[in-house]
């Protein structure tokens, strides 16, 4: 399952993502991973969640992000939730490329039985229509 938290910068997406991370930690019978660009969430995310600064791994672009997510799922079958902050800062601002990326991630979530939530700094009205068929857009 894929969820997109959408809205312009400053609309509260990161706060919602942090709240979802806390809920996942409380309800999950497995591992929760929170991916960020930088280290701004260090004191906000529950210590029971694995916080990953993606900059430490030199990940750039949607292909790199997909490979990283795939590696996480392949390396740890106990991951139940992955939350990604600043998705467009990691992958790029091309919403058509985002759609292609999400299409691949959908297969990953189905096979690995993991929920992935992305914060996306864009209005959902600007998304290609196919994104709404792939993800739950909020």
The pLDDT of residue 45: 82
pTM for this entry: 0.93
Domain ranges for the chain, please list them: 2-137
Which residue reads 């609309």 in tokens?
11
Going by pLDDT thresholds of 50, 70 and 90, the confidence category of residue 85 is: very high
86 or 10: which carries more pLDDT confidence? 86
Q: Taking each helix axis as running N to C, give the angle between helix 95-112 and helix 61-75, from 0 to 180 degrees, rounded to the nearest 10.
A: 10
Contacts of 127 (CB under 8 A, 6+ apart): 6, 95, 98, 99, 137
* 3 state SS of 53: strand
Backbone angles phi, psi at 66, to 5 degrees: -60, -45
For residues 99 and 51, what is the distance between their CA atoms, to the nearest angstrom? 25
Architecture of domain 2-137 in CATH?
A: 3-Layer(aba) Sandwich (3.40)
Burial class (CB in 10 A: 0-12, 13-18, 19+), 122: middle
Going by pLDDT thresholds of 50, 70 and 90, the confidence category of residue 101 is: very high
* 3 state SS of 9: coil
The pLDDT of residue 40: 82
The pLDDT of residue 137: 94
Residue 116 reports pLDDT greater than 90: yes
Say what percent of the chain tops pLDDT 90: 80
Q: Supply the mean pLDDT for the chain.
A: 93
Structure tokens at 93: 């601002």
Structure confidence by residue, pLDDT tens digits, 35-83: 999 888 777 888 889 999 999 999 999 999 999 999 999 999 899 999 9
For the beta sheet containing 50-53, the strands, ordered from the edge strand earlier in sequence to the opposite edge, are 50-53, 31-36, 79-84, 115-120, 2-6, 136-137
């Amino acid at each position: 399952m894929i969820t997109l938290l959408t809205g312009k910068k400053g609309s509260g997406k990161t706060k919602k993502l942090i709240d979802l991370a806390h809920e996942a930690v409380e309800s999950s019978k497995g591992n929760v991973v929170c991916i960020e660009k930088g280290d701004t969430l260090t004191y906000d995310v529950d210590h029971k969640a694995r916080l990953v600064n993606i900059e430490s791994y030199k990940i750039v672009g949607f292909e790199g992000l997909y490979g990283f997510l795939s590696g996480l799922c392949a390396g740890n079958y106990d991951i139940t939730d992955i939350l990604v902050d600043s998705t467009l800062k990691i992958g790029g601002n091309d919403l058509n490329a985002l759609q292609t990326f999400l299409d691949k991630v959908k297969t990953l979530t189905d096979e690995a039985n993991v929920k992935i939530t992305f914060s996306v700094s864009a209005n959902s009205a600007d998304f290609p229509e196919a994104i709404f068929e792939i993800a739950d857009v909020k």
